[in-house]
Amino acid sequence: MIRLNSKFKTKKKKIRVGRGIGSGKGKTSGRGVKGQKSRSGVAIKSFEGGQMPLYRRLPKRGFNTINKVHIAILNLDKIQSFIDKKSIKISDTLNSDLLKKLKIINKNSFKLKILGTGEIKDKINIEANLASKSAVEKLEKVGGSIQLKK
């Protein structure tokens, strides 16, 4: 019986292929004889021996719109954390241009949406395209304002 936590080595020696008959993996190096797989530099990705591959048997799903409008989403707790880190000043009007400049939102986003997850402590003015009801309520309760662009 071999105990795992004993002094025995658990590392197995690597098999060196193509090193003579006596090694057990000589001559063809375990690749068999002839055929595409015996040659070097061949990777048959998703080839199933002429059978219709799985990715072609399954139906197509979904649709990717070409002119999709990318909306950047920002929660109140995230805004508060940036205020605490002093990357956003309370005196500034928070809009998509400022956020893109600070690299908080993606430069490819067209619209900005403010969501109401978390709490905000500081009074801040926000200029956004969209906002949730809870976000508007929480901002107004603190004394801040949100201006929605059309």
Residue pLDDT, tens place only, 41-87: 887 888 888 899 999 999 999 998 888 899 999 999 999 999 999 88
In whole angstroms, give the CA distance from residue 92 to residue 95. 9
Task: At 117, list the tokens.
Answer: 């997850």
Is 80 exceeded by the pLDDT of residue 5? no
What pLDDT sits at residue 132? 95
Is 70 exceeded by the pLDDT of residue 31? yes
In whole angstroms, give the CA distance from residue 117 to residue 126. 16
* Neighbouring C-beta atoms of residue 123, cutoff 10 Å: 11
What pLDDT sits at residue 2? 54
